[in-house]
Copies of this chain bind each other. A is one copy, B any other.
Amino acid sequence: MNVSQRTITPIAWVNGRVRFLDQTRLPSEIVYRETEDELFLAEAIKRLAIRAAPLIGIAAAYGLVLAMNKLTREDLPARRSAFDRAYALLASTRPTAVNLFWALNRMCRTFQKYEHLPIESLQELLLAEARAIHDEDASMCERISVLGAALLPVGAAVLTHCNTGRLATGGKGTALGILETAWEQNKIKHVYIDETRPLLQGSRLTAWELSTLGIPATLIVDSAAGFLMQRGLVDAVLVGADRIVANGDVANKIGTYSLALLARHHHLPFYVAAPATTIDFSLTSGASIPIEQRQATELFWLFDNDTPAAEVDCYNPAFDVTPHELISALITDVAVIESPTPERMLTIRTRLETERTRAETSR
């Protein structure tokens, strides 16, 4: 692979179409797909060609634009029904990441505000909003990276899980963005990457991203994390999040909870990095987060199809929930919340509400 990962964008709006990298083919092949069809895009999200909470939100926003761009000059009821259909389609792709719903709702507010305008204007304003969601995600990544890098000690060996970099966001990433920034600050000694079963986002995506960035990294099986900590090889654990709730509990890729427990046992800091858009203040505890159950075939995708083991019953939750008590700090673009509690989470909520009020006042 000679393509620099820095030159690769996982999603882009190109001449009225959505162009995206099919992440299921990485790292063996770099396959881009283009579509004008929100159905095709929704399928791509479902099958993880487009994946990771921030990127799903961006993709869903563009999906609504695609759907509305099919309209010519329909009346208001037809516009509304087209929007609602596309909204429902995109909302049904993945249940756990809340950025998806956040992005869809933001597009919905834009639609409601401008639904009476001429169709071309409505379409342009929706595209502008989707682009804004995309651009803002890149800025959020920058802020997260700077705030997070400040927490890491010089010479840190950091363990990470799943993929949280350029392939996962509209920018440089969340947890991986922090590692990139900390690396540029000469703070990173080494990164250990969990391979992240079943779909191996660690070995397929994160290993590739870190190698193109020139950051020294070593791949391990997920269950070797404890061994590394026992041997004193890890100084901190740093992961992303798919949904954070009001008390600070975090849903993230399956296996995150075990890492948090191992980190606590070994007195290592356990950091979670995510944009504030990942926070769902409507849920009071992680127990209420819907956890996506994925197909059993994901456990066997690397096997021959005729493997008898494939007849075995499988249970394949895509995420788990880490209680806030195990988290050393939540690193968001809005604030760093150390040892999150329901009370401390209010800092972010208040700041978000202040910003929203200020934005609405200035309009």
Residues of A in contact with B (beta carbons under 8 Å apart): 1, 27-28, 192-198, 203-204, 207-208, 211, 216-228, 230, 254-255, 257-258, 261-262, 265, 291, 296, 299-300, 302-304, 306-309, 311-317, 320-321
Q: Contacts A203-B299, A265-B261, A302-B302 given; indicate if A222 touches B197 (C-beta within 8 A).
A: yes
In the complex, which of the residues B28, B221, B311 contacts A308, with contact meaning CB atoms closer than 8 Å?
A: B28
Chain B residues contacting A303 (CB-CB under 8 Å) are 302
- B219 contacts A221, C-beta separation under 8 Å: no
Q: For residue A304, which residue of chain B has the nearest CB?
A: B28
Bound-complex Cα distance A111 to B216 (A): 51
Q: Which of A194, A196, A311 neighbours the largest number of chain B CB atoms within 10 Å of its CB?
A: A311
Chain B residues contacting A320 (CB-CB under 8 Å) are 224, 226-227, 230
- A225 contacts B28, C-beta separation under 8 Å: no
- A208 contacts B313, C-beta separation under 8 Å: no
Bound-complex Cα distance A228 to B222 (A): 16
Q: Contacts A265-B261, A316-B221 given; indicate if A299 touches B254 (C-beta within 8 A).
A: no
Assuming A203-B300, A219-B315, what are 9 further A-B pairs, CB within 8 angstroms? A28-B307, A28-B308, A203-B309, A208-B309, A216-B313, A217-B312, A219-B314, A221-B316, A302-B302
Q: Contacts A219-B299, A220-B316, A314-B219 given; indicate if A225 touches B308 (C-beta within 8 A).
A: no
Main secondary structure of the interface of A (DSSP, over half): mixed
Report, nearest first, the 10 A-B pairs whose CB atoms are least far apart: A223-B255, A302-B302, A197-B221, A227-B320, A1-B308, A207-B312, A226-B257, A222-B223, A226-B258, A218-B313
CB distance from A309 to the nearest CB of B (A): 5
Chain B residues contacting A226 (CB-CB under 8 Å) are 255, 257-258, 261, 320
Q: For residue A190, which residue of chain B has the nearest CB?
A: B313
Bound-complex Cα distance A258 to B256 (A): 12
CB distance from A52 to the nearest CB of B (A): 17
- A211 contacts B312, C-beta separation under 8 Å: yes
Chain B residues contacting A315 (CB-CB under 8 Å) are 192, 218-220, 224, 228
- B28 contacts A306, C-beta separation under 8 Å: yes
